Structure 1
């Protein structure tokens, strides 16, 4: 089973990290883009993946209910650091993180809607001082967005969660938990058991959120107040409003030609 190597899914895995993990279940921790590929190739069967990756592969995957990484406005860990406003990035160089599909798809959708055509380049985005010299803007996600003072080297730091909320007044779903359809068909009872474990683990995480915050502080070396603010902004459920928001996101990606077909959102039952 996959696990995102950032701190953003720490509440979901708290229980599994503190005694709930059965000996027969192996955990694979990595960045979203790697988990996306591992579930696509069948190396892992259940994992959090980028919401946009789910949309692109929805015929092979089923969603697990009540699990996501979402925000309802500002998110802090998904930003466009830029020397220009979005409208002025036409023809400018924008570096995309290698690590996420959802944020990249969202940003491309925004550019297409506004008839803006930047020059895209995929590359590492961890060295904030180097990026500021080599690109006009960069999409930064995950722990790197929290760790570095992007506002000191770029004129604009645009929070994509906030940008989506201003456009739609809806939450944004960055990641979802999925199971391969073929695996679910062969092992439905096992999938139900793992899903139940994930939900129990998440409940324990929110009952021990102070410990989750402390672990995040220690991992990243940030002030506790900043880590607390970050977790206050994150949601790990998947209620009807978030499903509606996700459907709107997928429809927007289809309308802008980023998805080849409309997505029928389907859950494992």
Structure 2
């Protein structure tokens, strides 16, 4: 019987997915986060690196791999609120339909500041939407990374990779993961590898994923160079972007995930994770 994977293949998971060789009996399709969220929940795929908030919302029927995540501690550079007015003066914000987690994170950040601008679904580039009348635009993924660089770049030889610019051309780019860190002091988990509890992944697939991750992280400069060419960005920018990520769902990441779950989805069911290598029991992150 074929086991079906649904991959969201943004650059941020390239260190895992670029080198992944699927074992016999496993097939894969790709799509944006909302597409893969729906595919998993509707049973069209068996496992997917889905948005963290969808994992939380469906914790009664999903389980996640215990040692895989897409998380950051501080800025992420690819989940950005582009705005022409100061945050307290925002009136209309355009939201992408591609990511449920990023929208939920924006809502948490705004609520923490006591802000309530009108949030509207609208697709398009950040500058295009800002010019059309929105004073804020949420953008995610590779497009958001490129658009951040279009606003803040080009970098000069004197620019340090630890203090990258976030303004330019009359636009400010607020990094939502950085805002989360300022708010909580925790990492932010954007995605986990989740599966329906009645369809756990074959051990061969999990082993292949762990091996691919080890190889990808061990050759991060090569991964960055390849994707910098695709994105049209400097290699050092993409390498800095990739080395920010936390791919192992460690204790600080689970702490951040639990806090986000409590803020974004009050009353959610306990979050469940499969056993780590050598463990027999299932681990549970109870609702806060």
Q: Does 1:202 align with 2:223?
A: no
Describe the superposition over 1:84-107 as per-residue Cα deviations: whole angstroms up to 9, x where unpaired.
222222xx1101111111111011
Q: Does 1:262 align with 2:268?
A: yes
- Displacement, 1:263? 3.7
In structure 2, distance between residues paired with 1:12 and 1:5? 10
Moved more, 204-213 or 151-160: 151-160
Task: Confirm or deny: 8 A CA contact 1:14 1:204 kept in the other structure.
Answer: no
Task: Confirm or deny: 8 A CA contact 1:128 1:153 kept in the other structure.
Answer: no
Match of 1:144 in 2: 143
* Structure 2: 5+ residue stretches without partners: 152-166, 276-288
Distance 1:154 1:79, change over 3 A: farther
In structure 2, distance between residues paired with 1:21 and 1:193? 9
TM-score (norm 2): 0.83
Q: Secondary structure at the match of 1:27?
A: strand
- Displacement, 1:239? 0.2
In structure 1, distance between residues paired with 2:17 and 2:225? 15
Task: Confirm or deny: 8 A CA contact 1:129 1:153 kept in the other structure.
Answer: no
Q: Secondary structure at the match of 1:95?
A: strand
Q: Does 1:33 align with 2:37?
A: no
Match of 2:85 in 1: 84
Match of 2:236 in 1: 225
In structure 2, distance between residues paired with 1:31 and 1:263? 25
Distance 1:191 1:183, change over 3 A: same
- Displacement, 1:121? 1.0
Describe the superposition over 1:180-227 as per-residue Cα deviations: whole angstroms up to 9, x where unpaired.
11213xxxxx53332222111111111221221122112212111111
Describe the superposition over 1:3-24 as per-residue Cα deviations: whole angstroms up to 9, x where unpaired.
11311100111321xxx22242
* Structure 1: 5+ residue stretches without partners: 185-189, 254-258
More helix by share: 1
What's the RMSD between the two structures over aligned residues? 1.5
Task: Confirm or deny: 8 A CA contact 2:63 2:274 kept in the other structure.
Answer: yes
Q: Secondary structure at the match of 1:5?
A: coil
Distance 1:210 1:239, change over 3 A: same
In structure 1, distance between residues paired with 2:231 and 2:171? 24
Number of matched residues? 253
In structure 1, distance between residues paired with 2:168 and 2:42? 40
Listed as ranges, the matches of 1:242-253 within 5 Å are: 242-253=253-264
Describe the superposition over 1:87-143 as per-residue Cα deviations: whole angstroms up to 9, x where unpaired.
222xx1101111111111011122233332211111213x23311212110111100
In structure 2, distance between residues paired with 1:229 and 1:97? 25
Q: Secondary structure at the match of 2:77?
A: coil
Match of 2:161 in 1: none
Describe the superposition over 1:58-89 as per-residue Cα deviations: whole angstroms up to 9, x where unpaired.
11110101111111101111111111222222
Match of 2:11 in 1: 7
In structure 1, distance between residues paired with 2:184 and 2:267? 22
Match of 2:282 in 1: none
In structure 1, distance between residues paired with 2:231 and 2:247? 20
Match of 2:112 in 1: 113
